[in-house]
């Protein structure tokens, strides 16, 4: 019976709210009848002690004054069900203002002998002020309490802690309490401010982080933890997440104000924290002046522009005053979506979407001849190790052939700067993908050492980027959503990780801090165990590893390393002015020898056996080791 009543009331509250005119009408009715009540109370219910007709007429005067200040302070404008302290202040201010004006009118009427209509006993005005304030306040409190009672969902609400009891924490608290569908029940705040610890904020206790333990979470049945602090430092955020991640609760983050819908926070805006937050990296500080100077008024060509790295480079470039962006990719659908995104996000940006294959010399010649790019960011490449291991011809054709084609055209058309995206798999390569990237590094470096070449050739090298197409994070998240198992090649395998924006920001910086010939290597922090990545992603989903989601080991794939490297044994590491960028100094290469070798392989690429292709690459790359996987039927 009660549940049915609640259900009907919830539907009413969801569909309707008291209109402002009705709230104002109720308020002025309270003012009118409270004045008549004040007369009765003042004369102890002796109706013959005062003129009743006069009291009714004076009630209209009082009503007019109170209505004026209600309109000025808009005390009727808030949603009654969400009454706050601010709404109470409006009622008090409007009532006090009306009382002051009525006092003045009464005193003036006595001084100048105005009509009795204006001479209201001061005691009645005071009684009326008290009665009106109490009635209006309790009317709102009653509606708010009735709403909370009717919409309470005690059975399926999940207990939640909010980290941060400041302004943002209070906003999140009100959002949780005001949303009947949120299924969250606040248990308290966590705050690092010792002055607040042990006290209450909006009737909820404030704890220190020291109380966070397995027993505390079990005792209070905490199922969710919300971070609600503006501009929290990455290192601090990392520590907070690590302090609760092992307790099996859902960890949510409050987005920045600019992402709120119509300037209002909603429960649906609360998102699960990302694995990137566990890296705890400080924001990269860019030399915007040198980047702006290098890009201003230039036509920029980005290859692989619809891919993970290429698309982010394209987004980053829109921040600068370029002349035109020429975005080349062979993938039609991703290119379309990139074009739509840029069209909506940067209306003043001049860009062209070109569908084309970087290995087609005629296509790329047409692009260079038509648009005459001055700077080239070459991100087009095949990158998936297992697939390229079974397709070495394609890996060489696209990665090496595409790079050679772009480099030749850059020299021919006088491109100022050519920036190639390489990989940590090019260091002491053990797989086809890494080997092709190493060949590209050697080729680009050899180009940079030719005295007659004016183009500045630069290589950037970094490891795995979080969230890129086909990377481990989206794969693990998909496996978790499907209920597992999460598959890992080896319990000890480690990888370097960097976010896509981090990597692309450093690509831009590296592109303009040197004069060509450098291989820039990005500081990616300490290598991370892939097993720990999987464990943390499972825990961030509020699940328990090997209980809710199983972990399965599949063994290292062909060509896959246990640990990746950023520098090979024969390379010297040199610093730059940027703390996150170093230079890998490699031995000189004979341009004619390496280019002749590459041309020879490309000319007869599909006429040679895979084993022969691997041997050819080994001649270019000393130390390249590969156990080629045979394609069925080969």
CB 306 within 8 A of CB 329: yes
**Are 396 and 267 part of one and the same domain?**
no
Cβ count within 10 A of residue 178: 16
CA 352 to CA 219: how far, in whole Å? Answer: 59
- For residue 603, tell me if it sits in a domain: yes
- Omega prior to 485 cis, within 30 of 0: yes
**151 or 529, which is more confident:** 529
- Is pLDDT above 60 for 506? yes
Residue 565 has pLDDT above 90, yes or no: no
How far apart, in Å, are the Cα atoms of 82 and each of 92, 143, 144?
Answer: 18, 9, 6
Give me the mean pLDDT over the 379-404 stretch: 93
Domain assignment present for residue 319? The answer is: no
Q: Same domain for 385 and 407? A: yes
Q: In what order do the strands lie in the sheet with 200-201?
A: 200-201, 204-207, 184-190, 158-163, 222-227, 250-253, 271-272
The answer, yes or no, to whether residue 417 has pLDDT greater than 90, is: yes
Residue 370 lies in a domain: yes
Residue 219 within any structural domain of the chain: yes
Query: Band of the pLDDT at 271, cuts 50, 70, 90?
Result: confident
Asked if residue 217 and residue 68 are part of one domain, the reply reads: no
| Domain shared by 143 and 252, yes or no | no
Question: Which pLDDT belongs to residue 633?
Answer: 38
Kindly report which listed range (112-121, 174-183, 233-242, 573-582) carries the lowest average pLDDT score. 174-183
Q: Is residue 332 part of a domain?
A: no
Percent of the chain having pLDDT more than 70?
A: 87
Higher pLDDT, 592 or 631: 592
Q: Which two tokens stand for residue 518?
A: 């450098």
Q: For the chain, what is the mean pLDDT?
A: 83
pLDDT value at residue 629: 45
Cα angle, residue 62 at apex, residues 60 and 65 outer, rounded to 5°: 110
C-alpha 54/C-alpha 39 separation (Å) is 11
Residue (of 411, 332, 425, 426) closest to 373 by Cα position:
411
Note the pLDDT tens digit of each residue in 210-256.
888 888 888 888 888 888 887 788 888 888 888 888 887 888 888 77
> How sure is the predictor about 404, in pLDDT bands with cuts at 50, 70 and 90?
very high
- 327 lies in some domain: no
H-helix or E-strand spanning residue 325: strand 324-329
pLDDT of residue 585: 80
224-255 residues labelled b (16+ CB within 10 A) or e (exposed): bbbbbbeebeeeebbebbebbbebbbbbbbbe
How deeply is 6 buried, as exposed, middle or buried, from its count of CB atoms within 10 A (0-12, 13-18, 19+)?
middle
H/E stretch holding 356 reads none
Give the count of beta carbons closer than 10 Å to the beta carbon of residue 5: 10
Q: Which domain holds residue 434?
A: 294-305+354-620
Among 122, 151, 180, the domain-final residue is 151
| Average pLDDT estimate for 33-54 | 85
- Encode pLDDT of 257-266 as tens digits: 655 655 566 6
- CA torsion sign for 223, 229, 233, 234 is positive
Q: What is the mean pLDDT of residues 91-113?
A: 89
In the numeric block, which tokens belong to residue 604?
């007869």
Q: Is 241 a domain residue?
A: yes
Exposed/middle/buried for 552, CB within 10 Å: 0-12, 13-18, 19+? Answer: exposed
Print burial letters for 102-126: b (CB count within 10 Å at least 16), e (below 16): beebbeebeeeeeeeebbbeeebbe
Q: How many domains does the chain have?
A: 3
Residue 15 has pLDDT above 70, yes or no: no
Domain boundary among 130, 151, 172: 151
Average pLDDT over residues 141-169: 72
Q: What average pLDDT score do residues 272-276 get? A: 78
- Listed residues 151, 167, 193: the one ending a domain: 151
Q: Examine the domain organization and report whether 140 and 202 are in the same domain.
A: no
More confident residue, 51 or 413: 413
Residues 403 and 364 reside in one and the same domain: yes
Q: Do 147 and 168 lie in a common domain?
A: no
pTM over 0.75: no
Contact at 8 Å (CB) between 377 and 511? yes
Residues 50, 90 within the same domain: yes
DSSP at 201? E
Q: Which residues in 440-562 belong to E strands, given as ranges?
A: 456-462, 464-466, 486-488, 494-495, 497-499, 519-522, 528-529, 551-553
Looking at the structure, tell me whether residues 420 and 507 fall in a common domain. yes
Interval 437-489: pLDDT, tens: 999 999 999 888 888 889 999 999 888 777 666 678 888 888 888 888 999 98
626 versus 227: the higher-pLDDT residue is 227
More confident of the two residues 548 and 79:
548
In residues, how long is the chain?
634
Q: What does the block give as tokens for 548?
A: 């809710």
Q: Rounded distance, CA 111 to CA 108, Å?
A: 5
- Pick the most confident of 432-436, 591-595, 621-625: 432-436
- Rounded to whole angstroms, the Cα distance separating 160 from 207 reads 13
Report which of residues 402 and 261 the model is more confident about: 402
CATH classification at residue 478: 3.40.50.720
In a domain, 279, yes or no: no
pLDDT at 299 over 60: yes
**Residue 6 confidence (pLDDT) above 90:** no
Max mean pLDDT range (48-57, 280-289, 391-400): 391-400
Which range of 187-191, 354-358, 445-449, 504-508 scores highest in mean pLDDT? It is: 354-358
What is the 8-class DSSP label of residue 157? P
Domain check: are 486 and 547 in the same one?
A: yes
392 and 502 share one domain: yes
CA 232 to chain centre: 13
**Please, what is the Cα angle at 412 between 408 and 413, to 5 degrees?**
120
**What is the layout of strands, in order, in the sheet containing 324-329?**
351-355, 324-329, 299-303, 375-378, 417-423, 456-462, 519-522, 581-585, 572-575
Angle, CA of 624, 628 and 634, to the nearest 5°: 145
User: Of residues 620 and 587, which shows the higher confidence score?
Assistant: 620
Q: What is the pLDDT of residues 346-368, one digit of tens each?
A: 877 889 999 999 999 999 999 99
Model pLDDT, residue 487: 92
- Which percentage of the chain shows pLDDT scores above 90? 23
**How does residue 634 score in pLDDT terms, banded at 50, 70 and 90?**
very low
**Mean pLDDT confidence for 558-587:** 80
pLDDT of residue 631 exceeding 70, the answer is no
Ranking 130-144, 278-292, 351-365 by mean pLDDT, the lowest is 278-292
Q: For residue 377, give the 3-state DSSP assignment.
A: strand
CA-to-CA separations, 379 to 352, 388, 423, 463, 518, in angstroms, rounded: 17, 17, 11, 14, 17
Average pLDDT in the 378-406 region?
93
Co-location of 44 and 95 in the same domain: yes
Three-state DSSP state, 499: strand
Predicted pLDDT of residue 632? 39
Burial class (CB in 10 A: 0-12, 13-18, 19+), 588: exposed
């Amino acid at each position: 019976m009660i549940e049915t009543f609640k259900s009907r009331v919830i539907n009413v509250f969801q569909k309707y709210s008291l209109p402002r005119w009705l709230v104002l009408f109720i308020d002025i009715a309270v003012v009118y009848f409270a004045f008549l009540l004040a007369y009765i109370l003042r004369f102890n219910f002796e109706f013959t002690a005062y003129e009743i007709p006069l009291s009714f007429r004076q009630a209209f005067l009082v009503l007019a004054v109170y209505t004026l200040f209600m309109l000025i302070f808009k005390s009727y404008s808030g949603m009654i069900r969400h009454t706050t302290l601010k709404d109470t202040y409006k009622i008090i201010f409007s009532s006090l203002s009306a009382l002051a004006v009525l006092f003045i009118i009464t005193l003036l009427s006595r001084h100048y002998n105005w009509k009795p209509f204006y001479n209201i006993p001061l005691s009645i005005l005071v009684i009326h002020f008290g009665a009106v304030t109490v009635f209006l306040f309790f009317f709102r409190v009653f509606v708010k309490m009735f709403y909370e009672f009717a919409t309470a969902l005690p059975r399926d609400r999940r207990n939640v802690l909010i980290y941060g009891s400041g302004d943002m924490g209070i906003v999140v608290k009100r959002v949780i309490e005001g949303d009947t569908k949120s299924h969250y029940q606040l248990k308290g705040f966590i705050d690092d401010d010792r002055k607040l610890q042990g006290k209450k904020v909006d009737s909820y206790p404030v704890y220190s982080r020291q109380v966070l333990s397995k027993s505390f979470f079990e005792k209070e049945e905490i199922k969710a933890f919300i971070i609600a602090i503006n501009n929290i430092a990455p290192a601090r955020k990392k520590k907070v997440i690590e302090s609760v991640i092992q307790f099996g609760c859902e960890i949510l983050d409050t987005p920045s104000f600019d992402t709120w819908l119509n300037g209002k926070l909603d429960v649906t805006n609360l998102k699960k924290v990302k694995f990137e937050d566990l890296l705890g990296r400080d924001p990269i500080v860019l030399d915007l002046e040198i980047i702006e100077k290098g890009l201003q008024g230039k036509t920029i060509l980005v290859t692989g522009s619809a891919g993970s790295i290429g698309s982010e480079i394209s987004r980053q470039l829109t921040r600068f005053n370029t002349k035109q962006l020429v975005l080349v990719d062979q993938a039609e659908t991703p290119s379309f979506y990139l074009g739509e995104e840029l069209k909506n996000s940067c209306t003043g940006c001049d860009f062209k979407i070109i569908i084309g294959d970087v290995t087609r010399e005629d296509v790329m010649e047409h692009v260079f001849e038509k648009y005459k790019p001055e700077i080239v960011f070459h991100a087009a490449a095949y990158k998936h190790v297992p697939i390229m291991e079974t397709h070495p011809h394609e890996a060489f054709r696209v990665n090496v052939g595409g790079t050679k084609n772009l480099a030749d055209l850059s020299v021919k058309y006088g491109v100022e700067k050519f920036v190639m995206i390489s990989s940590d798999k090019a260091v002491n390569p053990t797989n086809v993908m890494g080997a092709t990237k190493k060949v590209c590094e050697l080729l680009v470096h050899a180009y940079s050492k030719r005295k007659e070449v004016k183009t500045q050739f630069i290589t950037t090298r970094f490891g795995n980027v979080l969230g890129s197409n086909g990377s481990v994070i989206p794969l693990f998240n998909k496996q978790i959503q499907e209920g597992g198992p999460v598959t890992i090649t080896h319990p000890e395998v480690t990888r370097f990780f960097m976010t896509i924006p981090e990597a692309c920001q450093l690509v831009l910086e590296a592109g303009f801090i040197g004069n060509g010939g450098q291989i820039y290597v990005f500081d990616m922090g300490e290598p991370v165990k892939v097993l720990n990545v999987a464990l943390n992603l499972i825990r961030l989903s509020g699940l328990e590893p090997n209980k809710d989601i199983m972990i399965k080991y599949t063994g290292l794939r062909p060509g896959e390393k246990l640990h990746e490297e950023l520098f090979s044994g024969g390379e010297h590491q040199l610093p730059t002015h940027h703390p996150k960028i170093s230079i890998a100094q490699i031995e000189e290469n004979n341009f004619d020898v390496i280019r002749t070798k590459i041309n020879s392989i490309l000319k007869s690429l599909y006429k040679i056996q895979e084993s022969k292709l691997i041997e050819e690459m080994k001649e270019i790359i000393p130390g390249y080791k590969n156990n080629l996987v045979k394609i069925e039927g080969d």
